[in-house]
Every structure is written in structure tokens, then in C-alpha cells.
């Protein structure tokens, strides 16, 4: 596995979690909005059906929690590997950390470090090569 694919796992896990959180929120909104009003009479699902749907939402939340734990573990592992880079300066480590641990865009990293995006990309390529050596 290349350094880039290893580090990109964090972004993929994070995107998956965000997608599942949105899904859970939509399910919850559907559950809350399930009673309907017609002819001044409130009609709602049976209590058992409501409870079953609510339990599914709780299970979805538990699944998200497990995925968040996996994300945190992956970030800690990657961060330790980044710390293990034998670098003359800290620039490569900062770029890798900002991109893959903090999930920042190239523009955000360039602005924070006062470099051009092109220069950040060049430094990033070198940093990945250094990271490949330790993995």
C-alpha cells in the first residue's frame, strides 16, 4: 500500500461517517414527522412500529460511534508514523498532518503556511516519498 492510499483511508472513513450521520438525521426527521394531520384528527403509526424505527436509528448511531472509534485509531496511528519521519525540517510533517489528519484542502494548507498551492504540492510529493520509506 502506498503512503498516499494509506493516508487517504482517513479521508474515506471520515466521508463515510459524515454520510451516515446525514442518513441518521434524515431517518430521525422522518420519524419525528411521521404523525400526519388530516381533518383535524392526528393519525400516527402504532407505538410498536414507532419503537422499532426508533431502535433502528439508535443502532445506526451505535454503528457510527464504532466507525468514529476506527477513525480516531487510524488518525492516531498515522500521526505517530508522521512523527516518525526523519526530517530536516518540520514542513513535510505539517503538510501531511494538515492534509490527512486534519483533512484540510490544498488551498487551506497553502494559505496557513504562506506558500503557493503548487509549492505545497511539490513539498507534499516529497513528503509522501519520505513517508513511504517508513511504512
From the number of C-beta atoms within 10 Å of its C-beta (0-12, 13-18, 19+), residue 115 rates as middle
Residue positions counted in the chain: 135
Q: What is the pLDDT of residues 104-116, one digit of tens each?
A: 999 999 999 999 9
pLDDT band at residue 88 using 50, 70 and 90 as cut-offs: low
pTM, two decimals, is 0.78
Helices (H), the chain: 3-32, 47-83, 91-96, 106-113, 117-134
> Any idea where the domains of the chain sit in the sequence?
3-134
Amino acid at each position: 500500500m502506498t503512503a498516499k492510499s494509506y493516508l487517504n483511508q482517513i479521508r474515506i472513513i471520515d466521508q463515510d461517517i459524515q454520510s451516515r450521520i446525514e442518513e441518521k438525521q434524515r431517518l430521525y426527521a422522518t420519524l419525528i414527522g411521521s404523525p400526519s394531520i388530516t381533518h383535524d384528527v392526528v393519525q400516527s403509526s402504532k407505538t410498536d412500529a414507532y419503537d422499532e424505527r426508533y431502535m433502528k436509528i439508535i443502532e445506526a448511531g451505535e454503528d457510527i460511534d464504532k466507525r468514529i472509534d476506527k477513525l480516531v485509531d487510524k488518525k492516531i496511528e498515522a500521526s505517530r508514523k508522521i512523527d516518525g519521519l526523519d526530517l530536516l525540517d518540520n514542513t513535510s510533517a505539517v503538510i501531511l498532518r494538515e492534509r490527512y489528519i486534519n483533512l484540510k484542502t490544498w488551498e487551506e494548507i497553502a494559505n496557513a503556511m504562506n506558500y503557493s498551492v503548487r509549492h505545497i504540492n511539490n513539498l507534499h510529493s516529497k513528503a509522501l516519498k519520505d513517508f513511504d520509506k517508513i511504512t
